[in-house]
Amino acid sequence: MPRAVERLAQLQAHLVTSAKQSGRPAPVLLAVSKTRDSSEITALNAAGQHRFGENYVQEAISKMRELVGNNIEWHLIGHLQSNKAKDVATHFDWVQSVDRIKLVDALARHRPGDRGALNLLVQVNIDDEASKHGCTPADAEAICEAIATHESLALRGLMAIPAPSVDVDVRRTAFHDMRLLFDQLRERFPSMDTLSMGMSDDADLAISEGSTMVRIGTALFGPRPAK
C-alpha cells in the first residue's frame, strides 16, 4: 500500500477526532496535489479521495488530461491571473482564489454551458498581508454580489491563507475573524456553505474555529523530493 494511502486513512480519522473535540462537523479534505505526479493522485483517488487542489493552471490541465475518466473534482487554489481565466473556467470544477470582480466576469464569460455552474470561493486577505493575494474583508461582499449575478457561477463561500506566525493566538484570531465574516455574509448569500482554511500545520486550529474544508498537502503526500 502506498504511504500516501496509509496517510489518507490516518488523516481522515484524525480530522473526525479533531472536529469532535471542538464540537464541530468534520471538514471536507482537499488533497493539495501541486507538483505531485498523476500516479500519486491515482492511488489516492482509488482509495476514495476525490477532491484535489492545484496551484498552477497548465500543470493541472496536463494532469486532467492524463486522468480523464477518473472521479476527480479539481480545485484551483493558486493565484489566478486574468489571462488564464478561459482555461480555468473550461477545465476546473472549483476556483478558491477569486479576489476581484474582473475575474468574476471573465470566469462567467468563459464557462462552457455544458459544464454546469463553476463553484467559486472568494479569497480574503484576512491579515492585510502585503505579500498575500486576496481581497480585503471590506471588499468581500461586493465580490460575492458580483458572483451571485451570474447563472454560470455558484457562490460557495470564502477561502483564506492567514499569515504564518509562531503565536497560536495570532493565527486563531485570523481564523476566528474569517468565521465571523463567513457567517455575516451567509446571512445575505445563503448559497455559501464552504469556509476553506487550514493546512497541514494548522488544520486543527482552523477546524476549532469553524473551517469546513482543509487543504492538506505535505501531511498527506509526504515531503516533496529535493530538486
What CA–CA distance (Å, rounded) separates 215 from 34?
A: 11
Alpha-carbon span 74 to 66, nearest angstrom: 13
pLDDT band at 1 (very low <50, low <70, confident <90, very high): very low
The predicted model gives 101-128 an average pLDDT of: 96
167: left (phi > 0), else alpha (psi -120 to 50), else beta? beta
Give me the amino acid identity at 197: M
pLDDT classification of 224: cutoffs 50, 70, 90: confident
Give me the CATH code for the 3-221 domain, please. Answer: 3.20.20.10
SS3 101: helix
pLDDT tens figures, 23-38: 999 999 999 999 999 9
Find where cell 463553484 sits.
119
Contacts of 4 (CB under 8 A, 6+ apart): 40, 43, 44, 220, 221, 222
Percent of the chain with pLDDT over 70: 97
CA dist., res. 209 & res. 198, Å (int): 10
Q: What average pLDDT does the chain have?
A: 95
Categorize the per-residue pLDDT at 173 as very low, low, confident or very high, splitting at 50, 70 and 90. very high
Q: How close are the terminal C-alpha atoms of the chain, in Å?
A: 25
Selection from 101, 99, 104, 72 nearest residue 88 by Cα: 104
Share of the chain above pLDDT 90, in %: 89
Among 2-16, 54-68, 121-135, 200-214, where is mean pLDDT lowest? 121-135
